[in-house]
Amino acid sequence: MTSANNWQGARKLINVQRAIRRGPLYVAEHRLRNMSKWIVSMIGFGIGNPVMFLLSVGIGVGALVDGNLGPNGVDGVGYLTFLAPALLATAAIQGAMDETMFPTLAGFVWGKDFFAINATQISGRSIAIGVVLAAGVRCSLSVLLYELILALFGAVSLASLPALTLSSILAGMAFGAVMLMGASFVKQDDGIFAVVNRFVITPMFMFSGTYYPLAVLPIYLQWIGWISPMWHATEIGRNLSYGHQVEPWLLWIHYAYLGLMLVVGVLIASWQFTRRLAK
Amino acid sequence: MMIVAKNLTKKYGDFVAVDGIDFQVKRGESFGLLGPNGAGKSTTMRMIAATSQRTSGDLEILGLDPNKKGPEIRAHLGVVPQTDNPDTELKVWENLYIYGRYFGLGRKFLKAKIEELLDFAQLQEKRNAKVNDLSGGMKRRLTIARGLVNEPEILMLDEPTTGLDPQARHILWDRLFRLKEQGVTLVITTHYMDEAEQLCDRLVVMDKGKIMAEGSPAELIKKYSSKEVLEVRFGSTKNAEVAPQIEKLGDRVENLPDRILIYSEDGEAVLKQIHNLGLEPQTSLVRRSSLEDVFLRLTGRQLIE
């Protein structure tokens, strides 16, 4: 029985303005608790995926490439070093996607968790920001595990890891914010996420200078890389990890592009979350 | 006053879901919104819960305008939606904990609060169970316990016992009655008239977005029905034939396909008069008039999908 003696009432109990300000953190705390239920799978995937990938593509394809072009034949470095920043960005983007696409549909349609959250003082905007924050944590976990494996394979220098971590997480959160924005408009999962996976995500990984420099592609295909956060993050990562030549103004464009994706994604998602929850 | 609504209106395009209603709810009162499907109860609840903005009219919750101060109002409410929506990935106690965190409540406070709420909802044994392993009644009690974690000024319950078995309903009524005794203001929507009679001090009957009647259950029965109702059955083919002979016997007579209802101050006396007319019903029943009689009189017997 809720004891009448202890009952203070919400007016005394709650610091409303502080609770409103911290809303996104509470949402992130909730999401992280959900994630903790899957932590073993996350770590298993976070380690297994890079190990398999580096063994097959990094070392297998790398041996072929280095054999043909010499040990420093791709962009002045070995193939594995060239590939590593792109793989990190991929891991970050994948992690952010997992935490923005399906949880958003679950929040609005399957479990309607977002409506329960919105019944408290938490606004749609706080929910959107909180989900992105939690996706950032998930990104970081994926990136750190990937870096551990990359370092063990000798694919990256330890000194470059802090900068690489930041650029990869920025890419993941930027993409996560845009995915959150897209998912917030989805009424039901009638295969739209599978379509996005096949026709947006996969081409993005293939045409963003991941496995070869973007300049190798014919000009009419290079635009896919230009609009892809993968390419911008990979260019930053390659510059930071082994000094890949990028004009300073272009480097700023890479950062600005990712930053813009993050801000616009969160703004539109916040607007749509608020609208959808108010119906 | 906890809630004041004046000419409260909500439109979705051309459709008027709530059509200029007025009501007030006092502190510590248990207030019911009754009505058939589509009457506008849930829309009204969402406006009171400060999650849906009104189209026009005035609404004040705890002295604040929900269109402007939605989050401030929601911080002081407990909401139990029509469909249970606890987080199915989390354990029972974690659901209470996480919800408490949303109000910015500290871990130490929540630790004690969770014990209190698990006792209240009779879920101590299920504290570590996943939500999907709970029965319907347990899920409902969890959702109600969750709505109490912030010690709300107003607890809003949208059809709190729909789909529950009689035992679970009675347990819930008992819990809600205790909250009312503690001075928590309750706002309840329900389809069940016995529930409204049990729980509500005062209620409004809504239909097609408008308020048809307002008062305590006893007042409404007095105003819109008689003290007693006599139900007689002559067989489905004979009811229509007999009805004209007995329609003057009560205050009001309702001729239904399966039985005839005669509303009167003294049901036994009317039954005697029927016998005196030489009519022999197959079955007869004298009962007290209920809120259900009022509800059906005000909102009609036609099925509303």
* Mean local confidence (pLDDT), A227-249: 90
Output Rg (C-alpha) for chain A, integer angstroms: 21
pLDDT digits (tens, 9 = 90+) for B189-216: 988 888 898 889 999 999 999 999 999 9
pLDDT at A182 over 90: yes
Of A176-180, A192-196, B285-289, where does mean pLDDT reach its minimum?
A192-196
| Residues in A touching B146 (Cβ below 8 Å) | 116
pLDDT number for residue A224? 86
Q: Smallest Cα–Cα separation from B197: which of B34, B13, B54, B14?
A: B34
pLDDT number for residue A211? 83
Structure tokens at B199: 């729980």
Query: Model pTM?
Result: 0.88
pLDDT at A6 over 90: no
pLDDT digits (tens, 9 = 90+) for B47-88: 999 999 999 999 999 999 999 999 999 999 999 998 899 999
Q: How far apart, in whole angstroms, are the C-alpha atoms of residue A23 and residue A115? A: 14
DSSP-assigned letters across all residues of chain A:
---TTT---HHHH--HHHHHHTHHHHHHHHHHHHHHTTHHHHHHHHHHHHHHHIIIIIIIIHHHHHHHH-TT-BTTB-HHHHHHHHHHHHHHHHHHHHHHHHHHHIIIIIS-HHHHHHTTT--HHHHHHHHHHHHHHHHHHHHHHHHHHHHHTT-S-GGGHHHHHHHHHHHHHHHHHHHHHHHTT--S-SSHHHHHIIIIIHHHHHSSSSSS-GGGS-HHHHHHHHH-HHHHHHHHHHHHHH-----HHHHHHHHHHHHHHHHHHHHHHHHHHHHHHT-
pLDDT number for residue B249? 87
- CB of B151 closer than 8 Å to CB of A13: yes
- CB of B49 closer than 8 Å to CB of B67: no
Q: By the CB < 8 Å criterion, does B185 face chain A?
A: no
pLDDT digits (tens, 9 = 90+) for A135-155: 999 999 999 999 999 999 888
* Mean local confidence (pLDDT), A114-127: 96
Q: By the CB < 8 Å criterion, does A5 face chain B?
A: no
Displacement of CA B17 from its chain's centroid (Å): 18
Structure tokens at B242: 């007999």
Output Rg (C-alpha) for chain B, integer angstroms: 23
Q: By the CB < 8 Å criterion, does B94 face chain A?
A: yes
Structure tokens at B45: 């609840």
A22 to chain B nearest CA, in Å?
8
Give the Cβ contact number of residue A37 at 10 Å.
14
Q: By the CB < 8 Å criterion, does A261 face chain B?
A: no
* Mean local confidence (pLDDT), A166-179: 93
Please state whether beta strands B30-34 and B154-158 pair in parallel, antiparallel, or not at all (unpaired).
unpaired
The residue assigned the tokens 């009779």 is B122
Q: Smallest Cα–Cα separation from A54: which of A158, A165, A150?
A: A150
pLDDT number for residue A55? 85
pLDDT number for residue B78? 96
* Mean local confidence (pLDDT), A77-81: 86
Q: What is the ipTM of this complex?
A: 0.88
Q: How far apart, in whole angstroms, are the C-alpha atoms of residue B189 and residue B197? A: 12
| Residues in A touching B51 (Cβ below 8 Å) | 115, 118-119, 277-278
Give the CA count within 13 Å in the CB-facing half-sphere of A48.
6
Q: By the CB < 8 Å criterion, does B93 face chain A?
A: no
pLDDT digits (tens, 9 = 90+) for B18-49: 999 999 999 999 999 998 888 999 999 999 99
pLDDT at A174 over 90: yes
Q: Smallest Cα–Cα separation from B152: which of B193, B108, B189, B105?
A: B105
The residues pairing with B78 across neighbouring beta strands, listed in sequence order, are B155
User: Cβ neighbours of residue A168 under 8 Å, at least 6 residues apart?
Assistant: A85, A88, A89, A91, A92, A139, A143, A233, A237
Structure-derived torsion over alpha carbons of residues A149, A153, A156, A157, reported in degrees to the nearest 10 = 110
- Please report the number of interchain residue pairs, chain A to chain B, with beta-carbon separation below 8 angstroms: 119
Q: Smallest Cα–Cα separation from B80: which of B3, B165, B5, B179?
A: B179
* Mean local confidence (pLDDT), B165-182: 85
**φ and ψ of B20, to 5 deg:** 65, 55
Residue of A nearest to B119 (CA): A1
Higher pLDDT, A180 or B247: A180
* Mean local confidence (pLDDT), A232-251: 90
pLDDT number for residue B75? 96
CB contacts under 8 A, A 111-170 vs B, are: 111-113, 115-123
Q: How far apart, in whole angstroms, are the C-alpha atoms of residue B39 and residue A143? A: 53
Q: By the CB < 8 Å criterion, does A274 face chain B?
A: no
pLDDT at A4 over 80: no
Contact A2 B120 (CB under 8 A): yes
A9 to chain B nearest CA, in Å?
5
Q: By the CB < 8 Å criterion, does A37 face chain B?
A: yes
- CB of B303 closer than 8 Å to CB of B233: no
Higher pLDDT, B289 or A279: B289
Contact A116 B83 (CB under 8 A): no
pLDDT at B301 over 90: no
pLDDT digits (tens, 9 = 90+) for B96-134: 999 999 999 999 999 999 999 999 899 999 999 999 999
